[in-house]
Amino acid sequence: MQQALSGLTALALMLGVVGVADAHHPPQMDNCYSLTFTAQIERVEWRNPHVELIVLADDGEQHVLVWLNPQQLGLAGVDRDTVRAGDDVIVTVGMREDGEDEPMLLAAITNNRDGWEWSQTPQGC
């Protein structure tokens, strides 16, 4: 009886953690369908749960690009000076499954200032 109760408690805790973790994620993205465009970074917002780039595309449209969280980027060698407002970049983004335009999930970025590149291979494609 005690073991069954412990198992139920563990299951309830796991479900609670999964629910909290899922609550902050951006909408589902279809990383198998991507779009590449050039843009200028207007603003970089370093915050949890995800770093966001606000960019102005060459066609004049402003976009919000969702990146990884600050800790993941730090482990990948990305810091606050890697990309900055005013940098011209080439970005590849995953599109939302529901057809909405924003936000877009950043899959790759090249900084034209110094040639720096970052990418994350889409899973399941």
| Domain that residue 32 falls in | 27-119
How far is Cα 43 from Cα 47, in angstroms, rounded to an integer? 12
Distances in Å between the Cα of 75 and the Cα atoms of 68, 69, 71, 72, 95 are: 11, 10, 6, 5, 25
| Structural domains of the chain, count | 1
Token reading at 51: 């770093």
Q: What is the pLDDT of residues 77-91, one digit of tens each?
A: 999 999 999 999 999
CATH number of the domain encompassing residue 34: 2.40.50.140
| pLDDT tens string 11-35 | 444 444 444 444 445 455 555 678 8
Q: Provide the CB-side half-sphere exposure for 68 (13 A, CA).
A: 16
5, pLDDT greater than 70: no
pLDDT at 37 over 60: yes
Phi, psi of 121 (to 5 degrees): -65, 125
Q: What is the mean pLDDT of residues 51-77?
A: 96
39 lies in some domain: yes
Question: How much is the pTM?
Answer: 0.72
Q: Which residues of 51-64 are buried (b: 16+ CB within 10 A; e: fewer)?
A: bbbbbeeeeeeebe
